[in-house]
Amino acid sequence: MKLRQRWVVGVLLVIAATWFTVALLSGQVPAGLMILSAGVADEPHLSISNRKIAADYTSGEEDNEDDEKTSDEIRAEMRKKGLPYDSTLYFAANSRRHLVPFKKVENRNKFEALFRDFPSGNRVPKLDRKDYLVRYREPQKHKKIWEIFHSNINRYEMYSFNNTALFTEYLDYLGTVPILKARGKSGGTQVKLFLVFADGGEALVKPWRVPREYETLPDHYYFADIERHTAEIAAFHLDRILDFRRVPPNAGRIFNLSTDILEHADSELAKLFYRSPAKNLCFMTECEQHCDPNENPVCGNPDTVEGSVAAFLPAEKEAKRASWTHPFKRSYSRKDKAVWETDPNYCKRVVMLQHPYNSGRRLLDIVDLAIADFFAGNLDRHSYNTYKIFGNFSTVIHLDHGRGFGKYKTDDLSCIVPITQCCIIRKSTYERLLILQRDEYKLGDVMRQSMSTDRIFPVLYEPHYDALNRRLDIVIEAVRKCISNAESEEDVLKLEPRIEDYVETQPPDDET
């Protein structure tokens, strides 16, 4: 190439490089040259909050620049985003370059087919008035959606099978109804808010704390793990899909901390709000874990934050609950183990001989609860509740799931010890699990589709759906092993106990 030609080419290259640099700095680079994924923000069905979440779950190429940032620069960005920038919790999950993209839900065909093709195996017998928890004298005067929910709670279920109309209206209600009052829940392990709505309804809020892909740190014990609002939402959908019907409705909601919470906060909560150096609105309630306002406050961006909204159950004065120590409670110790963790015969030697597990439905309920906790990876199950009015022949209430869905790479088999040691399970539960193992009703796919209508979808990080399918296989294999070792299948797969056959062996409120 001649000298003149080389000079011309060199000048053109300098001009092109200068133009690209200027365009990049001004944000005018043509779409085809952008490194960031274009198209996610253009999805018409995504809210502003959803678009940001969607952007977080693309290929993650935009985060490659983090390799060249100092920790102080990353912390500064975390401050702007309202993230717990000074906590090891976030830095443990800070590498977001290899995020698994979430799958878009084009339809809900598997979810709809599951409820269309199979009736409930957990059928409720004919109910008398005494079988209902709330007995309004004038039912026609109690037509608010939360009153309808309360009036349907009975001895056997929190809500009826595939009650789509109730769910659609109630979940929308939880995500949109105007807020009248807000106050902090003090004394608990982690930050929570109580809300009173304009129509008198109430709810419990757990705000966003960690990114969806954050996994429980290997060196953190289950009783010190941070709670996730997404776990509460997912637990409700899982409960519905498994046909247990024991978890109160729970929906995601995007809050403006200023207009939704602070303006309606009581004096105690209001004084806990402040503006961070990044001008984000933050707060922290009085609680025991992850509650230092200097380390990991709840912050908006600048005022917006998402959370889970759980439906309140009837007031304690109307529907007193009994609290029971879980028969497979963990030691909650860094050094000691519970007896059942070292004694493989514990269930048959101790639990199955004790009240109320030696008759009725209670032990089968505990096994169902163990399955739900195993699917969610929830090790924090120290107690459970029942309603006193129904005595000891009533369904177990499934509450407190915030420490679930914290791991998706590993499975904690200790969660299913009630299955492997007791070797009994409801026949209807086992049949439901076999259905959810089939490709056309695959548990992970049905869960994704079920939650696709939530306001903060995607609710779970994508690998959790694969973990659900994997854990489903593990439970089915555990039951099959029990059957192979039993004298007959009926020794393992139990029909639903009947109240007519139940004899109370001790007073119903022998626990608090």
Q: Which residues are catalytic?
A: 380
Given CA atoms 107, 469, 224, 399 in this order, what sign does their dihedral have?
Answer: positive
Closest CA to 511 of 356, 400, 349: 356
Residue with tokens 């306001």: 455
Report the C-alpha gap between 134 and 148 in whole angstroms: 10
105 Cβ contact list (under 8 Å, min separation 6): 448, 449, 452, 457
Integer Cα distance of 369 and 381 in angstroms: 9
Q: Are 170 and 149 in contact (CB under 8 A)?
A: yes
What is the enclosing helix (H) or strand (E) of 151?
Answer: helix 145-152
Calculate the CA 38 to chain-centre distance: 30
Longest Cα pair distance anywhere in the chain, in angstroms?
Answer: 104
- Class of residue 22 by CB neighbours under 10 A (exposed 0-12, middle 13-18, buried 19+): exposed
Pairing state between β 193-197 and 493-494: unpaired
Contact 269, 317 (CB under 8 A): no
User: Which two structure tokens, joined as six digits, stand for 494?
Assistant: 């139990």
Q: Tell me the residue type at 62.
A: E
Beta bridge partners of 205: 193, 309
Radius of gyration in angstroms for the set of CA atoms belonging to the chain, rounded to a whole number? 26
Three-point CA angle 192, 195, 200, nearest 5° = 155
**Looking at the DSSP assignment, which residues form a beta bridge with residue 32?**
none
